[in-house]
Amino acid sequence: MLTLSNARVVLLDPQGSITKQTAHEFKALASQVLSSGQYAALIVDMHAVESLDSDGLMALVSVLNSAQQANCSLKLCNISPAIQIILEVSQLERAFEILDERPAARSSLAA
């Protein structure tokens, strides 16, 4: 679930679902990364996320808030159409910076 991209960028690669059963694990891992203070950016690659429930949404919002408090940029990438619809219906798509692919997320950090 965790891959280091370089010294200042960390990639989270959640698999399956971010739901009531897994949201705590996702949040805990992101919190551990953010609390280290080592990273300027956190990229969450959602390519393998098949479902997201209200607990998963709350976990994403919590990670976003934690990232902002840590002065860390948070980007979501590779979001499936189903997850995109969930973010739109919940009106959260504007809260997150969403990019199509992992390379776009990395290159946006250099800008």
2-110 folds as: Transcription Regulator spoIIAA (3.30.750)
Kindly state the greatest CA–CA separation across the chain: 37
- Predicted TM-score (pTM) of the model is 0.86
DSSP string covering 30-44 = HHHHHHT---SEEEE
Total residue count of the chain as it appears in this document: 111
Give the Cβ contact number of residue 109 at 10 Å: 15
Neighbours of 102 (CB within 10 A): 18
Decide if pLDDT at 64 tops 70. Answer: yes
Check residues 73 and 101 and name the one with the higher pLDDT. 73
Mean pLDDT of all residues in 2-28? 86
Task: Give the start-to-end residue ranges of the domains of the chain.
Answer: 2-110
Rounded to the nearest integer, the mean pLDDT of the chain is: 89
